[in-house]
Amino acid sequence: MTFSKRQKYLLVIAAVLVAAVAFKQLYPVAREMFSDENGNYLKQRIVTLSTTLQKKKQLENELLFLEKKLDRLENRLVAGDTAALAAVNIQNLIYELGKQNQVEIDSLLVMKSTKYDDERLAMYSSLGIQVRMKVTIGQLQGIFHGIMSSSIILRITDLQVQRMRDKENALLNVTFTVMAPMLGG
């Protein structure tokens, strides 16, 4: 390949400019390295590099700790490959809590799963189950305690309580939503 005279001049000028920029960037480092009689520059450089290496090790340890913590928390998310399967797991938990507290669940309504607004949480979604039941205060406490102490991360929202007119039984008509984070959705 042949270059015209003008292209050769431009190529030479570009090479000179690149060399000048490289020299300007490396000159202070080279000057300190070669003019340092006591080796202060090299000692300082070694200290800086060893400090950087220590910080790297600390950050790697912190990353490992955070990854383990994330794994533990993700194991507490509601299980299920789809929102429907995750909803079944929550429903089963609520039915089991109802059975333990001698409560008959009137209805369970699966809410549509929603993604979190924060893009850092884009891989997670939130699933809700609306629960309706007639309970005594003691039964309601037992169910809430079971929900809050579950191995799955659950949250109770939208609680509505109405006292029923039945005088012989102090029953409450309760509606609430159980929210659970899940992976995917």
Give per-residue pLDDT as tens, 166-176. Answer: 667 788 899 99
CA 116 to centroid of chain Cα atoms: 11
Nearest CA among 123, 25, 1 for reference residue 73? 123
Hey, is 60 helix, strand or coil? helix
pLDDT at 98 over 90: yes
Verify that 50 and 94 share a domain, yes or no: no
> Once rounded to an integer, what is the mean pLDDT over residues 34-44?
69
Give yes or no for a contact between 86 and 78, defined as CB atoms under 8 angstroms apart. yes
pLDDT at 44 over 80: yes
Per-residue model confidence (pLDDT) at position 38: 59
Verify that 92 and 160 share a domain, yes or no: yes
Helix, strand, coil shares, percent, the chain, to 5: 55, 20, 25
Could you say which of 27, 55, 74 is where a domain stops?
A: 74
- Please state the domain count of the chain: 2
Nearest CA among 100, 76, 90, 84 for reference residue 179? 90
Q: Quote the Cα angle for 22-24-27, to 5°.
A: 100
Verify that 28 and 64 share a domain, yes or no: yes
Verify that 56 and 29 share a domain, yes or no: yes
Nearest CA among 153, 155, 184 for reference residue 73? 153
> Once rounded to an integer, what is the mean pLDDT over residues 8-29?
85
> Once rounded to an integer, what is the mean pLDDT over residues 75-101?
89
